[in-house]
Structure 1
Amino acid sequence: MKYELPRRMLGMKLPGDSTVAAGEYDVPTPGHGQVLLKMKAASICGSDLKYIYHEHTDKTGGARYDNVICGHEPSGQVVAVGEGVLDFKEGDRVTVYHIQGCGYCDECRKGYFINCPNPERRAYGWQRDGAMGEYMVADAATCIHLPEFLTYEDGAMIACGFGTAYQGLLRAEVSGRDNVLVMGLGPVGQATVILAKALGARVIGVDLSEERAEMAKKVGADAVFTGADALPEIMEFTGGKGVEVAIDCSGSAAGRHKCLEAARMWGRVTFLGEQGTVSFEPSPLLLHKNLSLLGSWVTSMANMENLVDLLDRKKIHPSQIITHRFNLEDADEAFRVFATGKTGKVCINME
């Protein structure tokens, strides 16, 4: 039975000034190589707050538009299929990689659409209509089938935050041999804790927020410290040696510096947290310890598909880090609550 589509839909836009603007829009039609999704879940990312919700700024290279439906963490069901789409049909459940690139540059050919340098690169909710509408057109090349075990909320978590965390762990080659320090326990930090545990590591979490520290304990961290200087506790926990891997999810100078301090000889340090700065003395903190210092930004289509398989195989629900849920009509309140910095993940449900 063919899905009956309405003509109009509710959608949310971010004009800036910490405002969410609700509007009524035409339900879009998928073009060649595209599918139309009935949105089921869309979560809010910290980058939405920093770069769109509060003000339209650009510190990473791409314009942010205030005239597109917001949200770049989509999960939904295919309700219409455009010409040329072979791998998806009506009724399929999907999560969506949140950027489509040009398709022909070196990075796109690797599946790292995030790194595409060309003008065709467009992110859902940033340069094209995104997840916080009742319907969304998605390029089939950015869609990934969602296994039955994983919910639509899980799919929204995977679309950006969990994919970003997974890529950072892959960059550091985390395994069961490692003590892993996660600095900063916001949503990406919580995802990093969960996935590091899934890869077999022993995990230490650090954050100044008691609420986020408690959440990290619930999702599996082996130790959590909340002091401004957690280095003595980290060293004691690791027998004085430090950690094999330190992942900074805080984006703060203090957090990044502490990761370098806490890493043991020949350790690996990955910077995931966006923006901010850091200043350190290379000789004692990097060179003499023979550290590998790595940067990591989002993930690739292939690694996101591998992440979906891992979560399905390990029976892990990413949605466990959701602390607040809202209907689409209440998106303004959802953004306000998430902006307090005291929540886990905040999700908009449209089932």
Structure 2
Amino acid sequence: MSADRVVIGGSTGFMGRYLQERWRRQGREVVTVSRAGADIRWSDQAAIDRAVDGASLVIGLAGKSVNCRYTPANRAEIVRSRVDTTASLSRAIARAAAPPPLWVNSSTATVYRHADDRPMTESTGEIGSGFSVDVARAWEQALFADDLPATRRIALRSAIVLGHGGVLEPLKTLSRLGLGGAHHDGRWPVSRGRRAAGTAHLPGARRGRQRFSWVHIEDVARAIDFFERTPTLEGPVNASAPHPVDDREFMATVRRVLGVRIGVPMPRWMLELGAIGIRTETELVLKSRWVLPEKLTEAGFVFRYPTLEAAVRESFDRAAAAQDAGP
């Protein structure tokens, strides 16, 4: 194995695929870890130990998608898949004769409270409550649990990541059907069980005014490169573009880039019924996430896609180029 080795845990998802392709093009050795379809399986701790020992960078991205219904079984797997894989990487680093100098592990900007009054930064942000926040806190606790004096650790509190694929694909389809309007919050009956589990979304911002923080996938990759060159950065870091928008502006931008003139607003009752039908949760579009990249900005990081329209346009243009290229 080469000295410039990157270990990616959770390599088969949207971000993992992008990063490994990018770093292999740059000539770096990339070792992938996943449940299947990777160089190493999560069940093989000895192989993970060998890969991590001497690596220049470890990336932790693993975790069951939150794009599902928050049933008891799914909630347990969402937490377990994040905490167990993070602990596995931590054990490997603790055992390494030559521990990696940097470990960047996924977290989420959802750790902050529903915010429509002011933005959340690493220094002034307020941690929220509920199941999604509990997941983020457990994830970060697993990252920082062990004493790893030779390895700098960063919890990447990512906003919604845009790029070719990911969240934009279903929104593209809905917009072309005329259903790409703003997502309107409102009242909806909530069971006692959902309240107890912390999965109930209570009415917040109205008429699509919930804030939408986002970041282009290229800037996430560039931020990781920046972390390697900037040893002062550690702890939680917000991965979010410096110009968040609200939900109305986000959906209007998607429609404008696609050339779609009409977008019917989606009221809460329609969103809830649709979420039940496609087995997801309305929190993903109704929670107001207002996040700013304080640490990155103060450290001198320059975003390639600081504004939304350029990020959406690049994502759709790249998708069209890939389709034109064919198999």
- What is the TM-score when the length of structure 1 is the normalising length? 0.22
Higher helix share: 2
